[in-house]
């Protein structure tokens, strides 16, 4: 993962984009429908990067609320600027700067319908395995905030991370479905490509994908 240089004034700049950027998200635990002003289902992307994926989904599905989560505030600031320069930020999208390990501080049990993980940092060194967003520690966080039978949708170009993820989901009792070792051989209906996905696919690299259903 490329190192992002800390930029002075980033947090102050993010404040200018409230309420699209939710500045104290923990205060809304269990009350996110009040933020959106409706009772539509909530789906989240953990590690939203430049935000193309989650903003596209939000535009395509106005009957679903989306929350983009990013741990690096400079990346989040760049994402919201990109959205504003393009088509603007959809009304059914909010952005949050927080570590994914704190999801239980952000959402009440069952408040989230679906979690998207797209091209997460593979953290290839064994000693960094706990940082992978499909490690048991994170899977437990997703299970805690997802509704019954809620799902994680996961895409990656990294075979090692995909194999690791298969093992983690299985060990934690998640039911996996629609496992694909080369997604573009049979592209899922309604697939929204991320920037990385388009880049890697154009280079001829396989894209791995799975869906995992929360354990009972």
Catalytic residues: 121
**Of residues 199, 201, 150, the one with CA closest to residue 180:** 201
**Of residues 1, 45, 57, 78, the one with CA closest to residue 193:** 57
Residues found in the chain: 216
**Of residues 32, 4, 144, 152, the one with CA closest to residue 96:** 32
DSSP string, 19-62: TTB-SSGGGGTT-HHHHHTS---EEEEES-TTSHHHHHHHHH-T
**What gap in Å lies between CA 10 and CA 79, rounded to an integer?**
12
**What gap in Å lies between CA 66 and CA 91, rounded to an integer?**
10
H or E stretch covering 151: strand 146-156
Q: How far from chain centre, in Å, is Cα 17? A: 20
């Amino acid at each position: 993962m490329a190192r992002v240089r800390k930029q002075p004034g980033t947090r102050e700049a993010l404040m200018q984009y409230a309420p699209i950027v939710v500045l104290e998200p923990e205060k809304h635990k269990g009350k996110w429908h009040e933020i959106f002003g409706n009772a539509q289902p909530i789906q989240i992307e953990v590690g939203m990067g430049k935000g193309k994926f989650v903003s596209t989904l939000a535009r395509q599905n106005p009957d679903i609320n989306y929350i983009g989560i990013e741990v690096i505030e400079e990346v989040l600031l760049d994402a919201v600027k990109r959205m504003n320069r393009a088509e603007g930020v959809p009304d059914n999208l909010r952005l949050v700067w927080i570590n994914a390990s704190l999801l239980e501080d952000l959402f009440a049990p069952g408040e989230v319908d679906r979690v998207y993980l797209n091209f997460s940092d593979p953290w290839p060194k064994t000693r960094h395995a706990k940082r992978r967003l499909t490690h048991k520690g994170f899977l437990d966080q997703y299970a805690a905030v997802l509704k019954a039978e809620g799902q994680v949708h996961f895409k990656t170009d990294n075979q090692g991370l995909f194999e690791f993820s298969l093992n983690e989901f299985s060990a934690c009792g998640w039911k996996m479905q629609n496992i694909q070792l080369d997604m573009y051989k049979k592209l899922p209906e309604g697939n929204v490509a991320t920037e990385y996905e388009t880049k890697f696919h154009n280079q001829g690299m396989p894209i791995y994908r799975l869906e995992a259903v929360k354990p009972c």
